[in-house]
Amino acid sequence: KLHNTIQELKGNIRVFCRIRPVLPSDLGDPGTSLPSAHATDDLTHHINYLDNQPPGQRHELELIQTTDSASGGKATTKQHPFSFDRIFPPASSQGAVFEEISQLVQSALDGYPVCIFAYGQTGSGKTHTMEGPDHPSEATMGMIPRAVRQIYEAAEALRDKGWTYVMEGQFLEIYNESLNDLLAESSTLPNAGSTTTTAARKHEIKHLPTGKTVVTDLTTVVLDAPHKVHHLLKRAAQNRAVAATQCNERSSRSHSVFTLRLNGRNALTDETSEGVLNLIDLAGSERLAQSGSTGDRLRETQAINKSLSCLGDVIYAIANRDSHVPYRNSKLTFLLQNSLGGNSKTLMFVNVSPLASNLQETLCSLRFATKVN
């Protein structure tokens, strides 16, 4: 009964869990270098899931946590149950995952604001899900290029009915609560070491009375052919690489926000439509110890912890229909204010690692998801 009520309340917010496969590199990891027979057991038998429920039914997941008693006493086993709108097991292909979000992508073309997030610890598959690998194939392409292609094809199909669409792409990162343009021709991203403002441009977030959000001085690229998105992803990667000289984990310490604006006009009926699709690769959710960190590192840590918990608070407030939604508490939620809540649609991927050594972080990620679901 209570569960049904929660389901009704949460409306346009859905949460999917994706478990990444065990990679060859995981087995060579010193943290998991167990005898191989043991390794398989240890790595795969602590997440049980039901991913084949009929449509409309929630998918169940159970995390099994076994703690050996150091003194040779009995081992204790704890089961942590969770449920999601959808669970993608390690073998799920990018194409199968995209199939489940393609309706949402279509909504953006229909004029809705849409946000798709990837949440999870570093190494859990967020970037793989959103962007795909550096040299993608048809099979491994991520959600961003697939979304661009689908929108392009759907827009083409609407031409006969009088519609023309302009699709524009922007890509920014939020690092230490400030915005940087990932598509700038020459990198303007400040390095981790520069605490004072350098020559980097200041980007301001402006919410127009029309309900549109504008970020000042941001590069906008017209995507008039779907393959152009690959150039954008490459340019962003290069810009990040230049900035990474002093902080090579930069991409896991910042949020990347890819925004597609879809402006349509119908020449026959004079109707217009303005949809926005945001695809957000969040900073790593691993609990970052504040003790021991100082200076820039501490500032970074605090910024990540704060913005991820703000995001949780905002989604929670929307799902609960709270009268006050605390958008202003972080740059990320302030930026996305017009695409979260109201008539917008939100999807959160919770990406998790299958490794026993990551069990504690996996538990934290699943708990975060439960809070927003």
Q: Residue 23 interacts with ligand ADP (CB under 6 A)? A: yes
107 near Mg ion (CB under 5 A): no
Query: Pick from ligand ADP, Mg ion, none: which does 239 bind, CB < 5 to 8 A by kind?
Result: none
Q: In this complex, which beta carbon is closest to ligand ADP, that of residue 126 or of residue 235?
A: 126
Supply the minimum distance, in Å, between the C-beta of residue 172 and ligand ADP. 17
Q: How far is the CB of 104 from Mg ion (least distance, A)?
A: 21
- Select 236 or 276, whichever has its Cβ closest to ligand ADP: 236
The smaller minimum CB distance to Mg ion, of residues 127 and 239, is found at 127
Binding mask 116-155 for ligand ADP (x = CB under 6 A): ----x-xxxxxxx----x----------------------
Q: What residue 354 binds from Mg ion, ligand ADP, none (CB within 5 to 8 A, per partner kind)?
A: none
List beta partners, residue 77: 66
Q: Does 127 bind Mg ion (CB under 5 A)?
A: yes
C-beta of residue 274 within 8 angstroms of C-beta of residue 263: yes
Residues in a beta bridge with 238: none
| Whole-number Å distance between alpha carbons of 354 and 362 | 8
Of 73-81, 121-129, 169-177, 297-305, the segment contacting Mg ion by CB under 5 A is 121-129
The strand pairing partners of 331, in sequence order, are none
What is the footprint of ligand ADP within residues 241-270 (CB under 6 A)?
252
Whether residue 260 contacts residue 106, with contact meaning beta carbons closer than 8 Å, is answered with no
* Non-local CB neighbours of 292 within 8 Å, separated by 6+ positions: none
Question: For Mg ion, which stretch binds (CB under 5 A), given 97-105, 126-134, 139-147, 265-273?
Answer: 126-134
Q: Among the candidate windows 124-132, 197-205, 259-267, 329-337, which touches Mg ion by CB under 5 A?
A: 124-132
Q: Which stretch binds Mg ion (CB under 5 A): 36-44, 89-97, 125-133, 334-342?
A: 125-133
Is residue 58 within 8 A of residue 84, CB to CB? The reply is: yes
The angle formed by the CA atoms of residues 15, 279 and 187, to the nearest 5 degrees, is 145
Residues in CB range of 295: below 8 A, 6 or more apart: 195
Number of residues that bind ligand ADP (CB under 6 A): 14
Q: With respect to Mg ion, which residue has the nearer C-beta, 92 or 251?
A: 251
Helices then strands, counting H and E runs in the chain, come out as: 10, 14
Instruction: Give the residue closest to ligand ADP by C-beta.
Output: 125
For ligand ADP, give the closer residue by CB, 127 or 278. Answer: 127
CA angle 69-70-74, nearest 5°? Answer: 25
Rounded Cα distance between 310 and 287, Å, is 15
- Alpha helix positions (H), the chain: 2-10, 24-27, 36-44, 94-109, 126-130, 143-157, 228-243, 295-319, 331-335, 359-372
Chain residues in the site for Mg ion (CB under 5 A): 127
Contacts with ligand ADP by CB under 6 A lie at: 20-21, 23, 120, 122-128, 133, 252, 351
